[in-house]
Amino acid sequence: MNRQVTKGIVLKYMREALKKYNCNPHITLINETLIKLVEANIIDPPPKDKMSNLYNHISVANPDLEKLLVECYTYLIIQGIIIPKPVTPNYGSHEAWSAFRTTEYGEEWANSEKEPIPEDVDGFVKYMRETIQDLDDVVIQYVSEALSTFNGKYFFASAVMLGAAAEKMIYLLSDAIKNSATKPKLKSDITEALEYRRLKTLFDLMSKILNGLIEQKIIPYSIHEGSNHYLSSLFDTIRIQRNYAVHPVVGKVTKLQPRLLLLSFPHACKKGYDFLNWLKENNI
């Protein structure tokens, strides 16, 4: 084995395998996952005569990896990504668990995501740390909690934690604007908004200031590219946290909501840090 194989790594490649096989014996999905792990140079290739049935080879050569593969396959069932193949009159119930079908949610999981995936907690956090220089420890702590609660199927808690991470990002960015501001009125406005902690007011003011700098071509395109979309997603994360997760009337968060928020957050956070680092080096 070329590197330590974790549950997150196996799920990543099992997800890739699921794009190819969405209704097959479970051994087919596991074997395809192993092939992809070999192709990615994560595990050592077997002898050529064993390549057609890698799973049988692995079950003898590496029992720990076999257990991990079964654990990840079971995880897909628990998460509702796949289900046992429906039983027909000529298909014994004891055999149903040896084959699977992909659910509608599973098809979305397999086909519509890009890295990192929320199921790979360690990989997700590592991706954010490697992508964003000097990432705030509080932000990453909230994100880690959001990932853990999501995978534990505590979707309320996941939305709340991710909303807190988004709030922290808005405050960090607003602080950077305040520290960069040289005009008394601008500094006074952002300082007052920060002191009152009215998040919508603060976000609107922050967006207005940044958009003004963009329109005046003060902030380079490489910094602000796609900023409206990414900054809006930060506030959407907070809106869902407050309106859906903790609102006494609505009080409902579906699995899809925190998943989509988690997928978009690293990119929104990266864009926030692009602005933040630029502001640290420039006065406005």
DSSP for residue 49: G
99: left (phi over 0), alpha (psi -120 to 50) or beta: beta
* Mean of per-residue pLDDT scores for the chain: 82
Confidence check: pLDDT of 68 > 80 = yes
Q: Compute the half-sphere exposure of residue 262: CA atoms within 13 Å on the CB side of its CA.
A: 34
Residue 132: per-residue pLDDT: 92
pLDDT band at 1 (very low <50, low <70, confident <90, very high): very low
**Lowest pLDDT segment from 59-63, 214-218, 251-255, 272-276:** 251-255
Confidence check: pLDDT of 141 > 90 = yes
Cα separation, 65 vs 56, in Å, equals 12
Q: What is the pTM of this model?
A: 0.71
pLDDT band at 59 (very low <50, low <70, confident <90, very high): confident
Mean pLDDT, to the nearest integer, of 14-37?
86
Question: Contact 125/147 with Cβ under 8 angstroms?
Answer: yes
Residue 115: per-residue pLDDT: 64
pLDDT > 70 fraction of the chain, expressed in percent and rounded: 86
Confidence check: pLDDT of 25 > 80 = yes
